[in-house]
Amino acid sequence: MERDQIIKELMIAGRPFSVEYCDLTPADCLGKAHVAQQRILIEAGLGYHARRATILHEILEVIDSLYELNLDHRVISALESALYQVLQDNELWRDDW
Ligand SMILES: [Zn+2]
């Protein structure tokens, strides 16, 4: 899928967040959520599945922050995996994710 067809904005808890693709450092950092700035940064080099999983992960990070859930990072990662599998197995993804 071409870069310009990939999702650029998401609504989370009724707020618009930009989704930007850039080279993140360190190299093992795949995504970052800047909640106050309403920006989600995703490592530009990710493949299709890793990109979807990372966007989902950052959505969960935003929800964790906005609702002050203070979830353990292990819980966020488990929710990411579980939701990813549900979306995948039931073909619930939007085409531009
Ligand atoms: Zn995280």
Q: For 38-68, how does the pLDDT look when each residue is reduced to its tens digit (9 = 90+)?
A: 999 999 989 989 999 999 999 999 999 999 9
Domain that holds residue 12: 3-89
Question: How many A from CA of 58 to the centre of ligand 1?
Answer: 7
Q: Is 97 exposed, middle or buried (0-12, 13-18, 19+ CB in 10 A)?
A: middle
Instruction: Tell me if 95 is assigned to some domain.
Output: no
Question: How many A from CA of 80 to the centre of ligand 1?
Answer: 10
Instruction: Tell me if 64 is assigned to some domain.
Output: yes
Question: How many A from CA of 57 to the centre of ligand 1?
Answer: 6
Instruction: Tell me if 94 is assigned to some domain.
Output: no
Instruction: Tell me if 60 is assigned to some domain.
Output: yes
Q: What was the pLDDT predicted at 96? A: 84
Q: Which of 65, 96, 58 is nearest to 80 (CA)?
A: 58
Q: What is the pTM of this model?
A: 0.92
Question: How many A from CA of 19 to the centre of ligand 1?
Answer: 16
Q: For 15-34, how does the pLDDT look when each residue is reduced to its tens digit (9 = 90+)?
A: 999 999 999 988 778 999 99
Instruction: Identify residue 41 by its one-letter amino acid code.
Output: L
Instruction: Tell me if 82 is assigned to some domain.
Output: yes
CA distances from 7 to 19, 39, 48, 72, 74 (A): 7, 13, 12, 27, 26
Q: What was the pLDDT predicted at 3? A: 54
Our count of domains for the chain comes to 1
Instruction: Tell me if 96 is assigned to some domain.
Output: no
Question: How many A from CA of 6 to the centre of ligand 1?
Answer: 21
- Please state the φ and ψ torsions of residue 3, each to the nearest 5 degrees: -55, -40
